[in-house]
Structure 1
């Protein structure tokens, strides 16, 4: 006599899965992927070190304003990076100028101060400030539209662009007006 299998017999047979095969192939594929990722990270690190070596002649920027200078109210935002003027993808790798992070910008009669959390502060003396404008992006930060304030300045014999994105839209105009006033005072005074 043929009997039908009960529900417990069907459930017991479904609970077993097929054995995993090709362990060697799976381990080899995982090791290959890890090697490719490690190689990619090593090449990026090596490229950054080579860039820093090429830019070693760039002088260290000042990090403090002169004593007695009254700096304006700070504008909070994101310090994007510093690049060579006119080449928004050529990030400066030395002296922490290429490090992105939270920052505050203050404009005074003596210049512009970037107070940064993750890297050394950068002070740009008034005589080195060349221009200020808005831009859609710079190395490390693309906002679209005109969300970035770009300060063009001299460091030694080099002309650089520093990108900063204020947190509040109203602060963008206030920052540009402050730097424009600094430029006007320098040319008229």
Structure 2
């Protein structure tokens, strides 16, 4: 009986914490409901310039690398396949829907050192600066990708550089 009360309190605390996390995530999704707009990929994407496996880290508001966005398909960190086409770039995280970013929506590409809960060596994250349509109008966002194999990051950055200008240095 003496162990039952502490175990029940710990279980109750765990349930309360899980409920609070769920409530916070749903509140974030409501606040960011303007980003629920999705665009369909064109039927003809052109030639594949590069296709690599990466770790998709996050998409945030431009200039605010601590504000994760809940864009459908890009809300959670996961392994992903990034494919660079003549007409844009596709990010397809495991278990999520594919997100296609048209060439004209890309503002620039570059590298970063940190975002939200990921800190890597200088320039270890590939950053896509792009504009997403939302119900509140166009919004500037940044998507972060982490190469999982040697040489993939520079190759991906070079491929993306054919679609959008490269920024020198790191933004975050």
Contact residue 81 and residue 140 of structure 1 kept, 8 A: no
Contact residue 61 and residue 124 of structure 1 kept, 8 A: no
Contact residue 73 and residue 98 of structure 2 kept, 8 A: no
Contact residue 108 and residue 130 of structure 2 kept, 8 A: yes
CA RMSD of aligned residues (A): 1.7
2: distance between equivalents of 1:94 and 1:115? Answer: 13
Deviation, structure 1 residue 115: 2.2
| 2:91 equivalent to 1:119 | no
1:84-138 deviations in Å (ceiling 9; x for gaps): 1111121112413211111111112211111222211111001110111111222
Instruction: Note the residue ranges of structure 2 that are not aligned, 5 or more in a row.
Output: 166-172
2: distance between equivalents of 1:168 and 1:95? Answer: 27
Contact residue 128 and residue 154 of structure 1 kept, 8 A: yes
Q: TM-score, normalised by structure 2?
A: 0.85
Compare relative contact order (CA 8 Å, sep 6+) and give the higher one, 1 or 2. 2
SS at match of 2:58: strand
Cα 1:138/1:65, change in 2 over 3 Å:
farther
Contact residue 52 and residue 82 of structure 2 kept, 8 A: yes
Larger Rg: 1
SS at match of 2:95: coil
The residue that corresponds to 2:52 in the other structure is: 75
Match of 1:164 among 129, 135, 145: 145
1: distance between equivalents of 2:48 and 2:42? Answer: 9
Q: TM-score, normalised by structure 1?
A: 0.78
Aligned length: 161
Contact residue 74 and residue 93 of structure 2 kept, 8 A: no
2: distance between equivalents of 1:90 and 1:96? Answer: 16
Report the structure, 1 or 2, having the larger strand content. Answer: 2
SS at match of 2:28: helix
The residue that corresponds to 1:179 in the other structure is: 160
- What is the correspondence of 1:82-93 to structure 2 with a 5 Å cutoff? 82-93=59-70
Report the structure, 1 or 2, having the larger helix content. Answer: 1
SS at match of 1:90: strand
Deviation, structure 1 residue 45: 0.8
1:49-100 deviations in Å (ceiling 9; x for gaps): 0000011112533353441511223111111121111111211124132111
